[in-house]
Amino acid sequence: MITVSGICIYPIKSCRGVDIEFSTISPIGLQLDRRYVLVDDTGKFLSQRRLPKMCLIEMQLGMECLELSAPGVSPFTFPFQHPSGPGNEVNIWGGIGYGIDQGDEAARWFSSALGISCRLLDHDPDRPLKRHSSVLGKDIRLRFADGYPLLIISEASLADLNRRMSAPVAMNRFRPNIVVTGCDPYMEDVWEDICVRNLSLRGVKLCVRCSIPLVDQATGSMGKEPLSTLNGYRKLPPAPGHPIEGVVFGKYFTSSSIGRFRVGNEVKIV
């Protein structure tokens, strides 16, 4: 039986993830996932591609807040109830969304933690990022995710990768939303429709990996693995639906409905 073995959200894009036991899925993604984004003084979004130490910004979920910590700065508690104000345009790989600035106190804390002047924006639910999916033949709505609302990876795929490497890597290198167990390696690649409880998820695209898996999420240091090993057996040439050459690991999914699920729920292949 295939089951959900892990759920992870990334409330602030490209900062450290938060492992949770249950969540709500909607067409826009998991609750709180990529709700916030950090931007520099030019309005460009920040990620671990440019600032690997973003992974050292750790957070815990409070009742109505994020409890943040990072090396070299005092802890900071940030309420979910955000200030109102005009929207700021954010370009995420060609998709345009809008975020609401979260004020000077948050900006000072993140600027000190990262060593770069930046500001925190909250997703504007009235003006979400929209991206056209050629696979689905329609626009999809996002908060500040790169391309699709959900990323699923199996434990078996990671185990197969680690068997090929001299030193294993953790699943958090790949920043999935849902981890599953009980299937063969890379079976998620071929799933088109799956069901978790009463939620129907549609597989839309293999995930072409950027440089972020090179970042050790515990230390912020970068190396050559695991992309060097993946390049030897998981390289995807350009093709219709996959215009970018690169290595693939994990698959993106979407949901057309809203519902709750938890670790331990069965995953059914439709």
- CA separation for the pair 185, 39 (Å, rounded): 37
Residue 87 has a pLDDT of: 78
Token pair of 46 as six digits: 């920040």
* Confidence at 16, pLDDT banded by 50, 70, 90: very high
Predicted pLDDT at 132: 82
Structure confidence at residue 243 as a pLDDT band (50, 70, 90): low
Helix (H) or strand (E) holding 158: helix 155-163
Task: Evaluate if residue 242 carries a pLDDT over 60.
Answer: no
Give residue-wise pLDDT tens across range 102-161. Answer: 999 999 999 999 999 999 999 998 888 888 887 788 888 999 999 899 999 999 999 999
**Across-strand partners of 238?**
none
Q: Please give the full DSSP string across 162-177, using - where no structure is assigned.
A: HHTSSS---GGGG--S
**pLDDT in the model for residue 134:** 78
> Which range among 111-120, 190-199, 211-220, 244-253 shows the weakest confidence by mean pLDDT?
244-253
Q: How far apart are CA 194 and CA 215, in angstroms?
A: 31
157-169 residues labelled b (16+ CB within 10 A) or e (exposed): bbeebbeeeeeeb
Q: Token digits for 104?
A: 């000077």
SS3 for 231?
helix
Domain 3-29+132-269, CATH number (from 3.30.70.3290, 3.40.50.300, 2.40.33.20, 2.70.98.90)? 2.40.33.20
Which residues fall within 8 angstroms of residue 236, CB to CB, at 6 or more apart?
A: 206, 208, 242, 245, 246, 247, 248
Measure the CA–CA gap between 129 and 117, rounded to whole angstroms.
24
pTM, entire model: 0.94
By the 10 Å C-beta count (0-12 exposed, 13-18 middle, 19+ buried), 182 is classed as: middle
Give residue-wise pLDDT tens across range 169-201. Answer: 999 999 999 999 999 999 999 999 999 998 999
| Location of structure tokens 């995710």 | 145
Average pLDDT of the chain is 93
Asked if 61 contacts 20 with a C-beta cutoff of 8 angstroms, the reply is: yes
In this structure, the chain runs to a length of: 270
CA distance 32 to 24: 9
Considering the chain, tell me which residue range(s) the CATH 2.40.33.20 domain(s) occupy: 3-29+132-269
pLDDT category of residue 83 using cuts at 50, 70 and 90: low
Is a pLDDT exceeding 80 seen at residue 73? yes
